[in-house]
Amino acid sequence: MSMSGNKEQLSADEQIECLRQQLMEAQKMTALGELVSTTTHEFNNVLMTIINYAKIGMRRKDDESRKKAFEKILAAGERAAKITNSVLGMARNRSQSFEPTELETLIEESLVLLEREFAKYRIRVERQFGKVPRVRANGNQIQQVLLNLFINARQAMPKGGRVLLRLEHDAEGDMVNIIVRDSGAGVPPEKLPRIFEPFFSTKSGPDATGKGGTGLGLASCREIIEAHRGRIRVASTLGKGTEFTIKLPVIPIATSSTPSVPAPTISTPPINGAPATPSAD
């Protein structure tokens, strides 16, 4: 490890830093494992729908039933495409770079992966998405944060409930706030200061879906958000629910002296009516 110098031993600080990085790597692997298991389940479910309705369509002779079967197959196929799209997005974005990121899309792509799980646990998702500017973010990492928060929320509501997702622009601080609120069990006040600590967990181990219990989820969320020069805060009321607020810095308007947003070298056709070239408002 040491490149030069006569001391082979790492200082305490270096050791801590090294362990900290290993922890974050471990959380990444856990998150990846959870993602694989979630998407496989989701995919399997979609395939079952397709197979069953294809069978129905073949058995029934009347147009009405066949039409219905085709509709179900189409809907399931479209959902399968959405799921792959989401996973591909995460796989593609393996880089550590920060880019102008649209949070609404990212939130939706994360939700797709948990849609069925939420439905199974009777969790309703409510969206309050205000119009917000793009933030400087690594999409992959923010998605990891969102999945951690969504899974925590789901686990706090074993009998169902509501997840409220809000996006708002804090113009004064030039930040975008992502708010994830659940109507779950809440955190007792004496435990609240500890929830971001690595290995702090009140869960006895992985649940029926194979998730939870390591205590690294929120530690890695904080790590990621702080690397974005953002902030993550929590507020909770026992028996009522918990609210996490993430603040991420808005993309600064590029000037010649701060080329933080590289100009695209190839101009691509506009998608969804968005301008192909970046414009300053």
What is the smallest separation between the CB atom of 234 and ligand ATP, expressed in angstroms?
8
Identify the residue among 198, 217, 230, 241 touching Mg ion (CB under 5 A). 217
* Cα angle value 114/37/99 (rounded, 5°): 60
Give the number of other CB atoms < 10 A from CB of residue 9.
9
Cβ atoms of residues 248 and 135 within 8 Å: yes
- Of 83, 74, 75, the C-alpha closest to 42 is 83
How many Å apart are CA 136 and CA 17, to the nearest integer? 25
Query: Partners of 163 in the beta sheet?
Result: 125, 182
* Cα angle value 143/145/148 (rounded, 5°): 110
What is the smallest separation between the CB atom of 41 and ligand ATP, expressed in angstroms?
17
Residues sharing a CB contact under 8 Å with residue 279, sequence separation 6 or more, in sequence order: none
> Helix, strand or coil for residue 163?
strand
- Tell whether residue 184 is a contact of ligand ATP (CB under 6 A): yes
Cβ closer to ligand ATP: 66 or 231?
231
Residues in region 137-156 near Mg ion by CB under 5 A: 152
Cβ closer to ligand ATP: 30 or 46?
30
What is the smallest separation between the CB atom of 208 and ligand ATP, expressed in angstroms?
14
Contact track, ligand ATP, 199-238, x by CB under 6 A: -xxxx--------xxxxxxxx-------------------
- Tell whether residue 161 is a contact of Mg ion (CB under 5 A): no
Interface with ligand ATP by CB under 6 A: which range of 41-49, 91-99, 118-126, 193-201? 193-201
Q: In residues, how long is the chain?
A: 281
- Tell whether residue 160 is a contact of ligand ATP (CB under 6 A): no
Residue type, 122: R
Residues in region 112-141 near ligand ATP by CB under 6 A: none
The DSSP H or E segment spanning 182 is strand 175-182
Residues in region 239-268 near ligand ATP by CB under 6 A: 242
Question: Which residue number places its CB atom closest to ligand ATP?
Answer: 217
Residues sharing a CB contact under 8 Å with residue 192, sequence separation 6 or more, in sequence order: 234, 236
Cβ closer to ligand ATP: 110 or 250?
110
Identify the residue among 185, 232, 246, 250 touching ligand ATP (CB under 6 A). 185
Residues in region 41-70 near ligand ATP by CB under 6 A: none
How many Å apart are CA 235 and CA 245, to the nearest integer? 8
Q: Which residues bind ligand ATP (CB under 6 A)?
A: 148, 152-153, 156, 182, 184-187, 195, 200-203, 212-219, 242
